[in-house]
Amino acid sequence: MDLLSNAFLKTLLDHSANPTFILSVDKEMELIDQNKAYINLLERLSLIIKANKILKPADFFNEQSKQLFIEGIAQCSKFKEQITLQVIPSYSTSEENIWQLELIPVLNNEFPILHIIGIIYENSIQSDTEKTERLSREQNLNEELATMLEEMEATNEELSQAQQALLSINQELEERVKERTKELQTSEARLKYMITEAPVGISVLHGKNHVLELANNKMLELLQKTSKIIGMPIIEAIPEMAEQVYPKILDEVFQTGEPYYGEASKVMLNHGGLLKEGYYSFVNYPLKDANGNTESIMVVASEVTEQVLSREKVEKLNESLSSINEKLEITNADLLESNKSLATTQSNLKSILDELYKSESRFRGFFEKAPLGMCVLKGTQLITEFANDNILALWGKTRNEVIGLPQEVARPEVSKQKELLTQVKSIFQTGKPLYISALKVSTLVKEGYFNTMYQPLKNDNDEVVSILVIISDVTDQANYRKELEKAKDILKLAMDASSMGSWNIDLVSKKLILSERAQRIYGLETSRLDLDLAKSMVSDEHLEYLTGSLKKALHNKTAFNIEYKIKPIESSNFKWLRSTGKAYYDNEGKALYIAGAVLDITEQKEDELRKNDFIGMVSHELRTPLTSLSAYIQLLQYKVKDNKDSFTDETLNKVSIQLKRMSGMIDGFLNVSVLESGSITLNKSNFDLVELIKSVAEENRVLMPGHFIQVIDEEKINVFADQQKIGNVVNNLISNAAKYSKKDSLIAIRCEIIGNFVQVSIEDEGIGIHKEDQAKLFNRFFRVDSPNTKTIAGFGVGLYICEEIIKKHQGKIWMESEMGKGSTFYFIIPLIGAPTSKENHTGLD
């Protein structure tokens, strides 16, 4: 930090009544600033001792006090303590006139003492008598000084010497300015290089209009723009941003002064004349003036290389120095004009230094506030020169613990990573950057994976002097990648264990890509084949069903699960396959490919067909004796009708009821057989659905007198459907409601029109159905396994048959249930004249 840029210290110095000066003790003792009282004392002493050169602070004292002054400076620097000395001025030969000198160190915890403030108190310990004598001597001295001044004014030679002394001061000031300027240029160049080589986009937006004041090459590359947009408001430079949320975010940051952090935010940018969508992580950080008002916004975008376009300060500095030299030539006219010109020159030079300091501060601010971990390592010992807050937090260290120390000293855990240290140190010989992806790093506070970049920083001789280190935390991505690989392995093991193959349809190239097991299932020797060839293998009866299912899945963006037959190219036997999968889309919603799995179910299908044939045969064989038995029971009932044997009559009624139930179960098995063979047909006719429901309800009241079966909303509703099969559905649902409900409970049946459909609902007050069982309820042969249902008869085919019948009618069946409160089953079928496509009733889903 430039000590003279401290406005408070400068004001205190100028308004001190006692002679005050500031010494630099960095390398050798050098006067860097003084107040007006000091200059007055300097002029007085110069006249008294007739000095022929510019007096330095040590020249103010006699030889003994001068040595005491030098020792005091050394003691003050070493112990960082204020020192008070009693010194004798150079014009005095005795101890009758003693000054008090205070030496005050300018403390800085991180560095040695660089500056000392000196304050001279004249005659501070003299007695009143001594003061009177001193005043008398001073009056005499003043008279002598007046005479000497008149002589000095008359002496051109002394004026020339004074002028030369002032010119010497000016030259010394110029040298200091040049040295300081060179240091600031070096610092600025280093920081500038760090920003331009960072792998992130950085820009600065100035003012309320967000004028693009600075943008690095990576930011321009990200925006697909050139440097011509510098100096333009962000909306003019990137017009596609106008309708997006980003300008509002910038306005909010500018007004509130609070930073904004965006993670994976969507932005639409113009790429080659087309708006394309992208996702970016960014930070909008407000840059404030001395009063705390936001004047600019720094934008840092993740995952891009950093390049900062900054204004060239060198040309301005040369122009300013040229102006100073011209002003210095004018000072030869006379002494007064020289003083004015030198004062103006000094003011201009301080302004330049302030401007350079502000530029350095701005770049340092970029470095400190960057959302990535950043540091600069100097020399082959890797001494830490700079480190921002993010990397300090990762290391678990403070700046005092790492700045100025080698990495292996400040962070002992680094010494274990010998291979990495060797690679980093080799950059000083090769001059080439080092990039490492997903590097595992262990620190005192964190263990994770990081993308790291080691960028060499070179001097004017193209020698590597330091290394810029930039790290980005990718622990989550690395862990996700490991989990993904693990999931892939598990999936492969599962597919291998289940004899499943995988496939992929590229919708762009129209190619079907098969895994090794899928090739064996299809009986192919190649893993890639045209989609038309693949379709030719599907049986004609299933081709339309297969393509329709795929088109529906693409349209609705849903998964599919289908069964179909194929005939391999080099085989005469058909195979049954089951395929499941889904489509995948790009950011614009365009389908890219369909991926899924395939399983050979030929043996399972053949078993099912054999089972269905057996069920059909057994059901037919059982139907004949049941029909005869039912006729005998009816004959017996007729014979005992006139007898008053109540026991026999009641027994025959119960036998008749059980025969009807058994006949219903056999019909169910026959229906399953018919459904499985795909030969079910509908005998549709016009009929009153409400009348059918009332008829079925009345039959069940006779069979199940222990339940209250109520038909609600008895309004005539005509439908065009298979009356017998719809009656079977209603009968099955009423029967289930009774079986799973207590006696004397209500079974409510409602029939109502909704749009182009009629909806029927059967509500009971039964035991209810668990949520995990509800999804499987319409599966073939599925029965709820619970203590409450073990004693209830059934084979689990009734609801399966109901669903197939309703589907054949272009309708839908579903249920709602809550444990302990009962269940409600619904189905819908089209009204007469209503469209029959499934899309028309999706609103009821």
Determine the 3-state secondary structure of 84 from DSSP.
strand
Ranges 487-501, 573-587, 662-676, most confident: 573-587
Nearest alpha-carbon partner for 363 in 182, 185, 188: 188
Per-residue model confidence (pLDDT) at position 352: 53
Distance CA 423, CA 609 (A): 69
Distance CA 809, CA 4 (A): 93
Whether 150 shows a pLDDT value over 70: the answer reads: no
pLDDT per position as a tens digit, 413-462 = 888 888 888 999 999 999 999 998 888 887 777 788 888 999 999 988 89
Mean local confidence (pLDDT), 260-271: 82
Q: Report residue 545 as tokens.
A: 């069903």
Contact present, 409 and 458 (Cβ < 8 Å): no
* Whether residue 733 is found in the same domain as residue 833: yes
560 backbone φψ class: left, alpha, beta (φ>0; ψ -120 to 50)? beta
Per-residue model confidence (pLDDT) at position 124: 46
Q: Is residue 350 part of a domain?
A: no
Q: Is residue 316 part of a domain?
A: no
Q: Report residue 510 as tokens.
A: 């129209």
User: What pairing do the DSSP bridges indicate for beta strands 746-754 and 708-712?
Assistant: parallel
Average pLDDT, rounded, for the chain: 78
Q: Is residue 169 part of a domain?
A: no
Per-residue model confidence (pLDDT) at position 585: 87
Tell which wins on pLDDT, 154 or 206. 206
* Whether residue 7 is found in the same domain as residue 138: yes
Write down the residue that tokens 């045969």 correspond to.
Answer: 617
Q: Is residue 345 part of a domain?
A: no
Per-residue model confidence (pLDDT) at position 225: 82
Q: Is residue 323 part of a domain?
A: no
Strand order in the sheet with 211-215: 211-215, 201-206, 294-301, 274-288, 260-271
pLDDT per position as a tens digit, 466-491 = 999 998 888 888 787 777 777 666 66
Nearest alpha-carbon partner for 806 in 767, 763, 769, 844: 844
Question: Which one of 258, 286, 306 terminates a domain?
Answer: 306
Whether 285 shows a pLDDT value over 50: the answer reads: yes
Per-residue model confidence (pLDDT) at position 304: 41
* Whether residue 685 is found in the same domain as residue 794: yes
Residue 180: CB atoms within 10 Å = 17
* Whether residue 592 is found in the same domain as residue 700: no
Write down the residue that tokens 């490492």 correspond to.
Answer: 436
Distance CA 27, CA 29 (A): 7
DSSP state of 708: E
User: What pairing do the DSSP bridges indicate for beta strands 746-754 and 260-271?
Assistant: unpaired
The enclosing H or E element of 74 equals helix 63-79
* Whether residue 128 is found in the same domain as residue 253: no
Query: What total of structural domains would you count in the chain?
Result: 6
Strand order in the sheet with 464-473: 383-387, 373-378, 464-473, 447-458, 434-442
Length of the chain: 845
Which residues, 6 or more positions from 657, have their beta carbon under 8 angstroms from its beta carbon? 703
Distance CA 53, CA 550 (A): 100
In this structure, the dihedral spanned by the alpha carbons of residues 815, 819, 820 and 824, taken in order and rounded to 10 degrees, is: 0
Determine the 3-state secondary structure of 751 from DSSP.
strand
Question: Which one of 418, 452, 479 terminates a domain?
Answer: 479
Contact present, 69 and 40 (Cβ < 8 Å): no
Amino acid letter for position 153: E
pLDDT per position as a tens digit, 227-255 = 888 889 988 888 888 888 888 888 998 98
Distance CA 735, CA 755 (A): 29
Per-residue model confidence (pLDDT) at position 131: 54
Distance CA 331, CA 348 (A): 16
Of the ranges 200-214, 279-293, 325-339, 396-410, which one carries the lowest mean pLDDT score?
Answer: 325-339
The CA radius of gyration of the chain, in Å to the nearest whole number, is 49
Residue 652 sits in a domain whose CATH number is 1.10.287
Contact present, 774 and 817 (Cβ < 8 Å): yes
* Whether residue 588 is found in the same domain as residue 636: no
Nearest alpha-carbon partner for 180 in 342, 354, 23: 354
99 backbone φψ class: left, alpha, beta (φ>0; ψ -120 to 50)? beta
Whether 87 shows a pLDDT value over 60: the answer reads: yes
Mean local confidence (pLDDT), 528-547: 85
Task: Give strand pairing partners of 458.
Answer: 464
* Whether residue 531 is found in the same domain as residue 667: no
* Whether residue 279 is found in the same domain as residue 384: no
Give the DSSP per-residue string, 801-816. Answer: HHHHHHHHTT-EEEEE
Strand order in the sheet with 822-830: 708-712, 746-754, 757-763, 822-830, 812-818
Write down the residue that tokens 């790429």 correspond to.
Answer: 271
Ranges 83-97, 381-395, 472-486, most confident: 381-395
Q: Is residue 834 part of a domain?
A: yes
Residue 120 sits in a domain whose CATH number is 3.30.450.20
pLDDT per position as a tens digit, 755-792 = 899 999 999 988 888 777 777 777 766 666 555 544 45
* Whether residue 536 is found in the same domain as residue 589: yes
* Whether residue 125 is found in the same domain as residue 13: yes
pLDDT per position as a tens digit, 624-639 = 676 667 676 777 776 7
Per-residue model confidence (pLDDT) at position 311: 36
Extended beta strands in 628-702, E state:
684-688
Determine the 3-state secondary structure of 395 from DSSP.
helix
The b/e string for 513-552 (b: 16+ C-beta within 10 A; e otherwise) is bbbebbbebbebeeeebeeeebeebbeeebbeebeebbee
Amino acid letter for position 144: E
Per-residue model confidence (pLDDT) at position 565: 86
* Whether residue 719 is found in the same domain as residue 819: yes
Distances (CA, A) of 773 to 523, 768, 798: 38, 11, 16
* Whether residue 19 is found in the same domain as residue 133: yes
> Which domain does 221 fall in, by range?
198-306
Question: Which one of 306, 340, 360 terminates a domain?
Answer: 306
pTM over 0.75: no
Q: Is residue 420 part of a domain?
A: yes
Q: Is residue 370 part of a domain?
A: no
Per-residue model confidence (pLDDT) at position 679: 54
Residue 779 sits in a domain whose CATH number is 3.30.565.10
Amino acid letter for position 111: F
Per-residue model confidence (pLDDT) at position 655: 75
